[in-house]
Amino acid sequence: MSAATQERSTEEAVLPRPAWGRHLIVLAVLTVLLIPLPLILPPATQAVAVRVLIFAIMAVGWNIMSGFGGMFSFGHAAYFGLGAYTSVWLLVNHGVSPWIGMVAGMVVAALFGVVVGFLALRYRLKGAYFALSTFAFAEMLRLLAINSDFVNRAVGYNVPLRREFSLAFMQFAPGAPEYFWIALFLTVVAIAVSILFLRSKLGRFTIAVRDDEEAAAAVGVPVMRTKILTIALSAAITSVAGAFYTQYYFFIDPEGAFGPSVSIQAILPAVIGGVGTIWGPAIGALVLGPLNDITATLLRNPPEALSFLQGRAGLDVIVYALLLILIVLLLPQGVYGAIRERVRRR
């Protein structure tokens, strides 16, 4: 290796050999470090932590098809919502455990993703058209849900309260650490899946297709199949967030399941942290989660100078939006992406 290093001209950027093992170890260490967190944090902060994890799962899922796959999705709420509604419908109507419901939700979301992907890709929608069509699909689901008795119309569903707390039905005392641990478990699995995905044939094909679809086809990569499988995986992961969200907040309705704000929540963390990186979505979620809380507090008890903000809504989204714009303009690779680039070039 060293002889080759000397021959190489200084211009060519050298990529480190992918270190999947290292990423997985970091993940394991982080997990161990985070487990005792709910026992240390006050309940209010715990709620923020859970929100961060939910964002992280959504964003990790989004990142798979949009970051690694290059297929920008503006309608990821479709999968979140399908996960939410599938699990809650099974629970309310058939008493099925939300764990099973979660798996069922993943299947439904993946299937929907396959359909959307197949339709969009078969007709070669790209770029803005593709993003618009994903948005349209999510909106259609929202409208259908609002107008459909099958899923309680705009009223949505309440998760029925149980007499005893149970792991099988994912219900615990309010503010119990179990919620955090479950969310942590799901997030860790999601990130591990994304690491393993990149290491797999499918992941490597996906990146090749993203970089140059025609060249990938020319060397034998089955482009359509690769894209559709990637979308399905992306959908399945995001749907998990929807199912858990419903259990944690005990409620879901069409707006909260399929609304555009949900789609944006799936996009933002990845953009802030770094689209197309492993750790970007999680880092972005870490930034976004507390922001929500800070702005809510600001609105409840604003300092003297900003007293007109008292009790008004909208500040949190304003902060999100400003952050989004600034990051895209100034730091398009996101926080993690930028740091990674710096380290690489040193």
96-155 positions binding other proteins, by CB under 8 A: 119-120, 122-129, 131-133, 136-137, 139-140, 143-144, 146-147
Looking at 309, 331, 338, 339, which residue binds other proteins (CB under 8 A)?
309
> Of residues 200-229, which lie at the interface with other proteins (CB under 8 A)?
200-201, 204-205, 207-208, 210-212, 214-224
> Of residues 32-91, which lie at the interface with other proteins (CB under 8 A)?
66, 72, 74
Choose between 204 and 291: whose C-beta lies nearer to other proteins: 204
Choose the binding region for other proteins from 34-42, 89-97, 179-187, 314-322 (rule: CB under 8 A).
Answer: 314-322
Choose between 83 and 259: whose C-beta lies nearer to other proteins: 259
Residue (of 134, 139, 108, 107) closest to 119 by Cα position: 134
Choose between 179 and 197: whose C-beta lies nearer to other proteins: 197
Smallest distance from other proteins to CB 241, Å: 20
Q: Tell me, what DSSP letter sits at residue 126?
A: -
Given phi > 0 = left and psi -120 to 50 = alpha, else beta, which region is 303?
beta
Choose between 20 and 165: whose C-beta lies nearer to other proteins: 20
Smallest distance from other proteins to CB 140, Å: 5
d(CA 73, CA 134): 6
Q: Are the C-beta atoms of residues 239 and 80 closer than 8 Å to each other?
A: yes
d(CA 331, CA 28): 29
Q: Are the C-beta atoms of residues 289 and 52 closer than 8 Å to each other?
A: yes
* Count of residues engaged in binding other proteins, rule: CB under 8 A: 73
Choose between 8 and 163: whose C-beta lies nearer to other proteins: 8
d(CA 50, CA 151): 27
Residue (of 292, 297, 300) closest to 318 by Cα position: 292
